[in-house]
Structure 1
């Protein structure tokens, strides 16, 4: 949960406030970032990058961002990775690097790639439900999408109108492109059933 919080908190060109880590506990027992409270206590953010989509996996994460500049993107990623590593080391009383090497990124300058990437990122949690989904080996698409809708560590629920972490992402661009939440889900369903991994093999970093 701290990593999701950092996606919001560190995406700001201004100096970070002293109340960086404000958390609340929800009924499920998870510690959730109290983003609404932080927004009332701080001046408006100056985004280092527009966070279009994200997905947090067990040992890595995927982001689709629209950066204001290369320098601002570098600053955001450094804050994000170093901030989480410092938190993790402090919590678990360890030292040293947490991530292997620098983050990897690829510029998306092809409209076709841009159309595929949000779907690909949002489908990544299917690795835990239908590991062969990239080969279109999904036994039950209805259950697969139910799994994605209930996977908390992704921006997908927010894209289909289920409030999850709405303050973390800037969704207007993609939702306008796909004509709203309902059409986004329909388009992603069609993409998953018909996908060809070669369409994005050059830009997935996997």
Structure 2
């Protein structure tokens, strides 16, 4: 996957892609769980073949051993027609290798499951360099707030209509790392490595407060790209 951006070791990046023609790429719980399993298992210098693994259970797949990660995943969010990742490059072309593995692997799974052919994603994945603290800190909140669009598609443009409902929805949304940042114990915690990120949040409560403040605030910085 060639692109103009050069990924530098130890630097942070916001990666994202959506379904071709904005199509749905996660149609069922099994689809989300497959992608989350791939986030973990494709993050390895060795190739992975999920069809060769005896279990299709997400928790069991997240217990499988890896040789060495290609990159550090700091946060993620899966939406019905797109996904967001915050990652740190570890070197040796890790980001590009990881993204090629996960895009190919998930497309093969999706096409077989839904009896379709062709590309699933909208071209190459997009990437922006999170090279400023203010921007990186905002990105962590930004991607974790994305699921609110599912229940209030215009909240960013028109303002949040029901903040309590939005907060409750985030607390129940399973397909992002928001719950892991909130301290919930679950198998999916193995997907991310929060320790590589700067310590922007002093506690779970500070993370929640900082993130939820964006629901009623106008952001000073916006994701680029």
Question: Given the two structures, how large is their TM-score scaled by the length of structure 2?
Answer: 0.77
Residue 214 of structure 2 corresponds to: 191
2:67 matches 1:49: no
Structure 1 vs Structure 2 CA RMSD: 2.1
Alignment map for 1:70-109 (pairs within 5 Å):
71-109=93-131
Identify which of 202, 207, 216 aligns with 1:179. 202
Where do 5+ consecutive residues of structure 1 fail to align?
Answer: 25-31
Residue 27 of structure 1 corresponds to: none
2:150 matches 1:128: yes
Deviation at 1:17, TM superposition (A): 6.3
Deviation at 1:133, TM superposition (A): 2.4
2:73 and 2:191 in contact (8 A); partners too = yes
Q: Which moved more, 1:105-114 or 1:185-194?
A: 185-194
1:11 and 1:76 in contact (8 A); partners too = yes
Residue 29 of structure 2 corresponds to: none
The runs of at least 4 consecutive aligned structure 1 residues that moved more than 4 Å come to: 17-21
Alignment map for 1:146-157 (pairs within 5 Å):
146-157=168-179
Deviation at 1:174, TM superposition (A): 4.3
- Given the superposition, is the C-alpha separation of residues 76 and 47 from structure 1 closer, same or farther in structure 2, using an over 3 Å criterion? same
* Paired residue secondary structure (1:85): helix
Residue 16 of structure 1 corresponds to: 48
- The whole-number CA distance in structure 2 between the counterparts of 1:175 and 1:169 is 14
* Paired residue secondary structure (1:167): helix
- The whole-number CA distance in structure 2 between the counterparts of 1:51 and 1:45 is 16
1:57 and 1:125 in contact (8 A); partners too = yes
Comparing both chains, which one has the higher relative contact order based on Cα–Cα distances under 8 Å and sequence gaps of 6 or more? Answer: 2
* Paired residue secondary structure (2:105): helix
* Paired residue secondary structure (1:66): strand
Aligned residue pairs total 191
Question: Given the two structures, how large is their TM-score scaled by the length of structure 1?
Answer: 0.83
Where do 5+ consecutive residues of structure 2 fail to align?
Answer: 1-32
- Given the superposition, is the C-alpha separation of residues 102 and 20 from structure 1 closer, same or farther in structure 2, using an over 3 Å criterion? farther
